[in-house]
Structure 1
Amino acid sequence: MSASETEAPSRRRVVVAASAGTFVEYYDFAIYGALATTLAAVFFPQQDPTVAILSTFAVFAGAFAARPLGGLIWGPLGDRIGRQRTLVITITVMTIATIAIGLIPSYGSIGVFAPILLVLLRLVQGISAGGELPGAAIFVGEHSPVRRRGFLVSWLQVSNVLALLTGILIAAILTTTLSQEALQTWGWRIPFFVAGPLGLIGLYVRRRVSDTPSFKALKEAGATARSPIKSLFTRENLRPFVFAMALAAPTTVPYYLLMTYMPTFFRSNLKFSQSQGLWAVLAAGVVLVVTIPLAGRLSDRIGRRNALMTACAAFFVLTFPAWALLTSGHFALAALGMMVLSIPCGLAMGNLLSAAIEQFPTEVRYTGFALSLGLCVAIFSGTAPYISAALVSGTGNLFSPGFYLVGVVLLPFIASFFMHDTSKRSLVG
């Protein structure tokens, strides 16, 4: 066993600890997206429902805009004080902010202060999230053997999807069992309060694992960067930074379209019920849970470059057939369309994290990945629901989000064509 690896029983604890925090993070974002139409009614004036929904997604995008700031905060911290200690802080901040959202009075009670408080707390969530997934991926990757790194790191994405499915399932149950009045009065608060015990569990698990062999070796050698941000923007690290940012697009945009925009698309544009939209997303999530670890294992066998190019090609082939099913007017076919669209999304998700963390040397790995992913998410992912809703509203073309998706995937397809495969690269040094 090399110095960069951890024994199998400890690796399992590492994966659980990292996944627990990722679960809390994405659960928080899931419930916001799943209840977007309800939150629009709670926090914004209702003279124009379309404007209210767009405002809700604008707040959603604002949290993603804060992620680069989170990368600037947590990345250098993780490269200086360690991965484990930083991840304990991020899960604490995320949990507190989510519970606080559940305590905000409605627009009808405190007027404009309601959306202001929502924006502020979503920004706090975004800052926390800016260090959560990158740090968790590095934490697992630096503990993993080279031959299984892609597979083990991919379980963070499975945790991500399971968190979203949990949030969406809770939202689906609430929208199915509660009246619209009860949901808008008090029911929407329940999922946010559930984040409390979830966060405590994640915090407990994370405090019981040690930091990575790679960071320990770096610290013992006295080689931690005094200024990770300055070290990142050097000639040798700038190319990996750009590659990591480009590679994130095929995962982040379709994923947030599937999991946060589609419930609203189903209700507002396809004229299905809110609960039907949520159940369709659940079906898509099941496909993701199966596809992601298979894609991670595949990338360990054929390399990150080949696996990522395969995922991008699958998007080009499957997006428009999937959209034809979505817009067929039949719920069963629409749900099938969601499941078809999940296949290339899962292929990309199973490869992204391992491919990205392998781009950077240890001393700037947290800073480089947190900032590159944060910028990609801010530019592409956080705006994806808003842009999709605006495209449909402005053009009247229900296929317009599909065109947007294919356009975005061109960037990582080109980037992966020029990248070197990194699947056999050591994460020490």
Structure 2
Amino acid sequence: MPTDRSMTDSYTGDRNAKASKPGLLRRRRLKVSDVNVVDQPMLKKALGGTIVGNTMEWYDVGVFGYLITTMGPVFLPEADASVQTLFLLGTFAATFIARPLGGVVFGWLGDKIGRQKVLAATLMLMAASTFAVGLLPGYAQIGIWAAALLVLLKLVQGFSTGGEYAGATTFVSEYASDKKRGFFASFLDMGSYIGFALGAALVSVLQLTLGQSAMEEWGWRIPFLIAGPLGIIAIYFRNKIEESPQFQATLDAQEAMAADAAAGDAAVVKGPLAIVKAYWRQIVLAMILAAAANTVGYALTSYMPTYLTESKGYDPVHGTLLTIPVLVVMALCIPMTGRLSDRIGRRPVLWMGAGSTVLFSIPAFLLIGVGEIWSTILGLAMIAFPVTFYVANLASALPALFPTSSRYSGMGIAYNFSMAIFGGTTPFIVDALIKGFSNDMMPAYYLMATSAIGAVAIFFLPESARRPLPGSMPCVDTHAEARELVATQDENPLIDVSELPFEQQDAVDRESSRTAEGDLVRT
């Protein structure tokens, strides 16, 4: 077994060869004290606190998506029904235009002041803006300004959401152990689709009990107003969680080495433009993967009710009800595919998502076109199948593309720009394709094309299952695992000691020595 000194000497040549590059420090042999051991009670708190935010976000997405055919007459009563639908689909897409700005701002703040504070702020803003939608006057009260205010509030929602998903995935990925990261991160998307199903179920109940006339008059406000008390509960749980230990360790190391310009890992990268310049390959890769996955996801959740109502002749109630059981079953299956990715790897599971999208899209829309309830549910299930393999693993695969000190920023930029260009615009694009080509199968072709491109991107995705996050030390569940990891570090194919970050104590010692030398000089 090599000693600490021999290990240090083995890195001397590499260090001297790259001395001009910032971020390289003398790396020492991995010790038990270097390994992060998960605090299980805090992990449960962190998981619960982040899930409620994602549930809240998708509750709003579900509510708005299922109320599109109801809210059209409220805000544009004089327009044609197709114009009303396109306006509200465009308003939904406008939400995603603001997401990149939110991702940049909140991502930068999250890497600077911490994940927990920023995630609490995004949730407050999201809950407040959703609640405000329920208070909006309609066209009958203030004319076209009602539609303008709706767009404005949806932009605020998009801005806050820009920091939500990137922060939540970053937060949970940094809390979970390396061997269970896929499983725990997948709970975020399970919460997302449960939130969507809750919103859809509430809208369905209101439509059945109040009727379409009452829904257009005042009933549509209720789901948005409920977001107020739900948001207060969610904020309470989110404020109970603490900063992720891996980010805190990185933050402490940065502070200890503040006087050393050459110290740190990629943490020296500052600002959104510098992040893009340093990690443009990772950002492009993450954007393509997020686009492929969320095109299918948003087609299922946000567009399908409109598709069933406008193209397939279902009434608004059945257009909503038919998707709920599919969403619930899919949400419950998501942790299973997350666990599967921990066992066989992220890339194989993501390939299953891309391949099944290409394979199932045409049969799915053909079944929906039959017009029977059984065939529609089966078609929806065939669209939901690839989503379970896609979204469960993006939450763990994409954060692993970026180092700890720049992870929130990198995720915020990549994911939200992708959502602005592809994800949130999916309902608008497929609806326009159907009308432009007079072909109800256009959504299937669009999904197949995006997943074919996504499959190519998966080929270039580095495998991250059971491996430490870039810029972080290994993370395990127990102290016994930490001791075993250190003892087998030379034979472990999942651990590359040369790629691990500098030891924090080294940084502190260097800073202490520099301070002492300065004191002697002044004396």
**Fold conserved (TM > 0.5)?**
yes
Aligned to 2:276: 233
Q: How far 1:225 sits from its partner (Å)?
A: 4.8
- Indicate the residue corresponding to 1:347 in structure 2: 389
Question: Structure 1 residues 361, 228: CA separation in 2 closer, same or farther (over 3 Å shift)?
Answer: farther
Corresponding residue of 2:310:
268
Provide Cα deviations, 1:50-69, integer angstroms capped at 9, x if missing partner.
01100100010000111101
2: distance between equivalents of 1:284 and 1:183? 25
Question: Where in structure 2 are the equivalents of 1:21-420 lying within 5 Å?
Answer: 21-222=53-254, 225=268, 227-235=270-278, 237-420=279-462
CA distance in 2, matches of 1:308, 1:182: 44
Query: Residue 398 of structure 2 aligns to a residue in which SS?
Result: helix
1:232-272 residue CA offsets vs partner (Å, 9 max, x unmatched) = 1234x221111111111232111111111111111111001
Deviation (angstroms), 1:312 = 0.5
Task: Give, in angstroms, the shift of residue 418 of structure 1.
Answer: 2.0
Distance 1:311 1:392 in 2: 24
Q: Extract unaligned runs of 5+ from structure 1.
A: none
User: 2:43, 2:176 within 8 Å by CA — same for their partners in 1?
Assistant: yes
Structure 2 SS opposite 1:358: helix
Greater shift, 27-36 or 39-48, is seen at 39-48
TM-superposed deviation, 1:212: 0.6
TM-score using structure 2 length: 0.80
Per the TM alignment, residue 315 of structure 1 is displaced from its structure 2 partner at its CA by: 0.8
User: Do the aligned partners of 1:4 and 1:144 also contact (CA within 8 Å) in 2?
Assistant: no
Q: Deviations over 1:257-294 (max 9, x none)?
A: 11111111111110011111111110220231132111
What secondary structure, in the 3-state scheme, does the structure 2 residue paired with 1:388 have? Answer: helix
Question: Does the aligned pair in 1 maintain the 2:166–2:412 contact within 8 Å?
Answer: yes
Check the 8 A contact 1:79/1:225 in 2, yes or no.
Answer: no
TM-score relative to the length of structure 1: 0.97
**What does the per-residue CA deviation read over 1:15-54, in whole Å, with 9 as the maximum and x for residues that have no partner?**
1000011111111111011101111111113331101100
The answer to whether the 8 Å contact 1:358/1:425 transfers is no
Report what 1:7 is aligned to. Answer: 39
> Distance between the aligned counterparts of 2:423 and 2:248, measured in 1?
34
Moved more, 298-307 or 222-231: 222-231
Q: Secondary structure at 1:234's aligned position in 2? A: helix
Give, in whole Å, the separation in 2 of the partners of 1:226 and 1:313. 37
Secondary structure at 1:221 match in 2: helix
What is the alpha-carbon distance in structure 2 between the residues aligned to residue 85 and residue 208 of structure 1?
11
Superposition RMSD in Å: 1.4
Q: Which letter does structure 1 place at the counterpart of 2:270?
A: S
1:126-154 per-position Cα deviation (integer Å, ceiling 9, x unaligned): 00000001101111110000000000000
**C-alpha distance in 1, partners of 2:36/2:395?**
18
Q: Which moved more, 1:50-59 or 1:250-259?
A: 250-259
CA deviation vs aligned residue, 1:288-321 (integer Å, no higher than 9, x gap): 1132111101110111111111110111111111
Amino acid aligned to 2:196:
L
